Amino acid sequence: MSSYSSHASSPVTAVLGPTNTGKTHLAIERMLGYETGMIGFPLRLLAREVYDRIVKLKGAGQVALITGEEKILPPDPAYYICTVEAMPISKSVDFMAIDEIQLAADAERGHIFTDRLLHARGNQETMLLGAATMVPMVKQLLPKAHIISRPRLSTLSYAGSKKLSRLPRRTAITSFSVDSVYAIAEVVRQQKGGAAVVMGALSPRTRNAQVDMYQSGEVDFMVATDAIGMGLNMDVDHVAFAQTRKFDGRNHRELGAAELAQVAGRAGRHITDGTFGVTGEMLPLDETLVEQIENNTFEPIRRLMWRNPNLDFSSVEALKISLEAPPPTRGLMRVPITIDMQALNMMTADPSILDRAGDENIIRLLWEVAQIPDFRKTIIGEHASILGDIFLFLSGDQAILPAKWIEERIARCDRTDGDLDTLGSRLAHIRTWTYVTQKTGWVENQRQWQAQARQVEDKLSDALHQGLMKQFVDTRSSILLKRLQGRAEAEAEIDAAGDVHVEGEYAGRIEGLHFTKDNRMTNSPPRTVRAAIEKVVGHELRNRASELAACGDDDLKLNEQGEIFWHQSCIAHLVAGRDLLSPAIKLLADESLVGTPRNQIEARLTAFVRHHLETLLAPLITLKNDDSLNGLARGLAFQIVEHGGHIPRANIADTLADMDQPARAGLRKLGLRFGTYDIFMPALLKPNPARALAMLWSYANNRKAAEDLALSPAPGLTSCARHKDLPDGFYRSLGFRVYGKRAIRLDMLERLADLIRKAIEANDKSNEFEITADMVSLMGCSHEEMADILKGLGYGAKPKPQEATSPPSSENAPDDSEVNISEAEQYEETQPPLVTLLWYPKKRATRRPNPKQKASHQKAAGKKPSGNKNKQHADKGRFKSSAHKKPEKKMDPNSPFAVLQSLKDNNK
């Protein structure tokens, strides 16, 4: 295969073996032994780590860093540290090395590694680093290569399955989806104090910061994807697999034995042994698989991905054909369609792009644009759309990306607000523009745009690191856990404000009778911490219970929402009891407060609430407990109390008809008013007792008192618009009646009754009245709403007769026969005239007397039953209207026919 080599005489050495064999360290030492050299790494993160290391040894002027997103190029560097894709293989150097050559079998990136394996050569030495599974392919493709097998420096053994809570310190937990990584990190935070997060989607700056946090001992656990499997040097003692299945960009699949070994091999550093196992819901690994990982014996790689490096740029079609050229030798497999090939196909489907691709240079540019990585991992159509815009600018008259266009896209990413996913998305976007600004000749003032894109990326990387720390690291718990290592007990104390501290670290606060754990404190603290908290909190709660049971009423407060406060802390609230005036108590206390102390508190609060309500609702309680009442008065008092201090008069008409005046007088002395519409206690209409009764009603009906009272009429209002979310019963408990869209306080309705009575008395012709301005003003409503109120109070209405008008001349007057049904139909289609209504009290339903009782009363009075007939005729004379006139049939005011007939009758 010497024909593939640029330096056929350069010796090739393949150093192959498992992880922790010192391969990378060996390559760096060999390179520094030459005057010039270059190493290609699989990850930008790893390249940056090695670059920093060599800079410390040789100085910044001697080392260049070249990746797709970052270039640090001194004037005359001796050593080049690169990602494999960004290696300038045309550069002449003495030493050349490629790391992780087993990635040549990867479906997406493999063809790049294969190309470097076949073509990248140093003038004096070439070194290939990778897994032992590459031995057959190296022998086949590079028969002259010298293969060196290096054994692992430490032992790797299987530790079985462990719960997350049982994992040892310095453990890396691996999973293969962002959601799973975050979920596991949260559990570790709760149980262990915190975890570092390492994923391939993070920027190198963020990943370095997370790794540094782990390496410094700030946290003892790491949750990572398989990104830790390549070259990241960390002090990991144990690797726990929470998943062994991943999405590789094409399919969901199980990781192979060699891939699992690459990750598990991170456990153990240098000569320190390491272990691996499973955790969470993972089943134990198969014995055969365990043996393969422990002994590093895997199926060898038989094929490497390949793509034609000699592309034809004479036309777009020629380019596509050359990309699909078959491999030149056995052992190579043509790569399946990759993202850059998909992007090329989608861009050339656009006629405006295809028209531009007319010469070789433009087609080369088109292919270079198509190879911009999809850092955002979006759908290919969206990625190709952005690439198409870039190509159209670069192939246009200016042949450069407009400064304003680049500035707008960088500015969109220059924000650090949002959650972890939002920050990660912006970071992926800015990496695209960081990559673009690294391309020579694509932007003006290249250094300026590179610096601006790098600044935004660094800002987002730092924000993401801080977000990950805030989300998944509990600093206090982490410090506390380190202090308690090896100790059987922990010291806890409570200060005057109720703050609980364990070993000097804030653990929570006792408010009232409840301990609230600090949300930054672990949800599942170690047994020593838990025991210390339970001990000190339990003792404090028992002391508070004793103090509360002996306190006076002045130390307690019941607000109008039904919450009971003690020392400015809510300790209980009311709930539905056996009746309206006897609510129950729900104590807001820790479950640890049980037995006698809890019973004493409940008894004390029950007595306080009873006394408070007896004071606030004194008239009602007095009425309830008055033993002097008997008979009908006792029954009426019971109904008043049961209904919260008032009841509609119509509901107890029979009782009132049979009640004598002395019984009524006794009830009046107790504060009861016999109104026209309601029997009520005016003292209970005051704001405090009224709102207390409303609160009790809400609890008795299993409603939320605080929400109901927030929607209720403000204290002092006597009329208001009815709120749709409040039931009529709630308004009744406040001392209001609901009529249509209005709610009116009971005492205002009695004042309305006085106005109506005066209006009827002023009418010397009938017992009818019109709605007056005083009535509307008193009710605080419109004329239409006033009509709803009167209807609700039991009043009827009829049109007011129109005043007589002069009759029309006989020659113009229509004959009666001409007024037929067609006129009524025509009238029905027109707007009816405005009609003034007269209101009148409807006859109230009364009890039908018992015929036997009626006869006995008449007999006792010496009168015949028929004698009332003449008296009835005589009584009719007392009405304002004629006694002999036949009563008119009442008219329906809503019927246009009836209104028309009324007008006719009045005009006759």
3-class SS string, 468-484: HHHHHECHHHHHHHHHC
Structure tokens at 838: 């007269």
**How remote is the C-alpha of 50 from its chain's centroid?**
42
Q: What is the mean pLDDT of each run of 10 residues along the chain (908 residues)?
A: 45 89 90 96 87 94 90 93 92 95 91 94 95 93 92 86 89 89 88 84 84 85 83 82 82 86 83 88 91 88 93 93 92 90 93 90 94 85 92 91 92 90 89 90 90 91 88 65 54 78 75 78 58 80 89 91 91 90 90 87 92 92 89 91 91 90 92 92 93 93 91 90 92 92 92 92 86 90 89 88 57 47 45 71 59 44 44 38 43 49 50
First-to-last alpha carbon distance for the chain, in angstroms, is: 126
Asked whether the CA dihedral 814, 817, 819, 822 is positive or negative, the reply is negative
HSE toward the beta carbon, residue 378, CA cutoff 13 A: 18
Q: Is residue 689 within 8 Å of 699, Cβ to Cβ?
A: no
Strand residues in 131-230 grouped as ranges (E): 146-149, 156-162, 171-174, 196-198, 221-224
Task: Give residue 878's pLDDT.
Answer: 35
Structure tokens at 203: 């920027």
Nearest to 776 by CA among 763, 764, 785: 785
- CA pair distance 243, 628, nearest whole angstrom: 81
> What size, in residues, is the chain?
908
Structure tokens at 438: 């690294």
Q: Which CATH superfamily is domain 156-295 in?
A: P-loop containing nucleotide triphosphate hydrolases (3.40.50.300)
Structure tokens at 500: 């609980």
Residue 159 phi, psi dihedral angles, 5° rounding: -110, 5
At 235, which amino acid appears?
D
Nearest to 485 by CA among 168, 735, 784, 188: 168
Q: What's the order of all strands across the beta sheet hosting 582-587?
A: 556-558, 563-566, 569-579, 582-587
- CA pair distance 97, 790, nearest whole angstrom: 99
What does the buried/exposed string (b/e) look like for 248-263 if buried means 16 or more CB atoms within 10 Å of the residue's CB?
A: eeeeeeebebbbbbbb
Task: Give residue 232's pLDDT.
Answer: 66
3-class SS string, 600-657: HHHHHHHHHHHHHHHHHCHHHHHHHHCCCCCHHHHHHHHHHHHCCCEEEHHHHHHHHH
For residue 353, the tally of other CB atoms under 10 A from its CB is 22
Asked whether the CA dihedral 603, 609, 615, 620 is positive or negative, the reply is negative
For the CA atoms of 541, 543, 546, 547, the dihedral, rounded to the nearest 10 degrees, stands at -100
- CA pair distance 793, 744, nearest whole angstrom: 11
Q: Is residue 47 within 8 Å of 81, Cβ to Cβ?
A: yes
| Helix, strand, coil percent values for the chain (each to nearest 5) | 45, 15, 35
Q: Which helix (H) or strand (E) holds 38?
A: strand 37-41
- CA pair distance 710, 687, nearest whole angstrom: 14
At 154, which amino acid appears?
S
Q: Is residue 431 within 8 Å of 69, Cβ to Cβ?
A: yes
Asked whether the CA dihedral 844, 847, 848, 851 is positive or negative, the reply is negative
Task: Give residue 503's pLDDT.
Answer: 63
Residue recorded with tokens 């409040």? 726
Q: Where are the domains of the chain?
A: 12-149, 156-295, 335-472, 685-799
For the domain bounded by 12-149, which CATH number is listed?
Answer: 3.40.50.300
Nearest to 215 by CA among 232, 190, 203, 239: 232
Asked whether the CA dihedral 887, 893, 894, 895 is positive or negative, the reply is positive
- CA pair distance 711, 707, nearest whole angstrom: 7
Q: Fold match between 12-149 and 156-295?
A: yes
Task: Give residue 821's pLDDT.
Answer: 44
